Amino acid sequence: MDVKRVKDYLYWLYYQYQLVTCSYVLEPWEQSMFHTITVTVLAMVVYTAYVFVPIHVRLALQFFSQIFGSQPEGVV
């Protein structure tokens, strides 16, 4: 891939992000704060999903396996 095309594509994605969030109308220090808060919230959502979604999926599978009559793994 051409480096210039990748750079242009990333610039286009950033431009689209600015248009969607309307952050292009903010002053530079406001943009900095907005992007920091956005990245922090996104990181917290990803971390929470990584930690808690597998636990809830496992509990849901155990719940539905008990409803439909199969035995839990610990029962011999």
Task: Answer yes or no: pTM beyond 0.85.
Answer: no
7-63 pLDDT, tens digit per residue, is 999 999 999 999 999 998 999 999 999 999 999 999 999 999 999 999 999 999 999
- ∠ CA 6-16-43, nearest 5°, is 85
Whole-number Å distance between alpha carbons of 15 and 17: 5
The set of residues, in sequence order, having a beta carbon less than 8 Å from that of 38 and lying 6+ positions away, is 21
Name the one residue in this structure whose structure tokens are 């480096």.
3
